[in-house]
Homo-oligomer: A and B are copies of this chain.
């Protein structure tokens, strides 16, 4: 039976509140930054901010769901009987993960056709990855979790392959002063996304119930912070540098 210690309950509670604040702050930073970049890069910042805004909404809901799933009495944590709603994460990812790939594509400023075709391919694969992961996340036995997790990793491998092989040539065509940043953004995407399957596999370990709960919640939270707010800041830096090179200081003064 699941019995979190008060320290464990508080750790997750505070991590959720911290993440809501960070995502909301990142949203405002990215949207305010729109006025500092050239025309071609505004949509990349709009979408980076949207991803953080959507995440802020869901962390607000997740925070409230966590609060109502437990009751605290005399420092002891008991389950309230209201289930913690895991689905908020998947609903969030269904929206934000395709958008994360689209912001990476937009900041590269490819041709219109290439932008649309890469967005459809990568965005579609990302949505499929999330949809296939969910039945495993809510499964009560580990073999179902493993089956859906494995299916979900097929589109994941496809995305990684597209990011490195498909976008590789385009990245080498980026202006020299941002090529390193674009590669960093790709690496950050790959590394942070690689963190989700590791968290997903925590229940396979022989950790006990409460440790699994804390590990999964804190793990996904850290991954979300890096993949969304962290990537957003990199996208902002790329957009500012490219704007200075392409539009000059004057165009966006």
Contacts and interface: CB of A to CB of B under 8 A. Distances in A.
Contacts of A28: 46, 49-50, 53
Interface string A49-91: 1100110011001000000000011110000011101011001
List the number of copies, as a whole number. Answer: 2
Interface in A7-28: 10, 13-14, 17-18, 20-22, 24-25, 28
A64 to B, nearest CB: 11
B21 A57 contact: yes
Contact of A91 (B14, B39, B83): B14
Interface residues of A, number: 50
Contacts of A21: 54, 57-58, 91-92, 95
B53 A42 contact: no
Contacts of A88: 14, 17
Nearest to A88: B17
A249 interface: yes
Contacts of A74: 81
Interface of A: 10, 13-14, 17-18, 20-22, 24-25, 28-29, 31-36, 38-39, 42-43, 46-47, 49-50, 53-54, 57-58, 61, 72-75, 81-83, 85, 87-88, 91-92, 94-95, 247, 249, 251-253
5 contacts: A28-B49, A33-B43, A72-B82, A73-B81, A75-B83
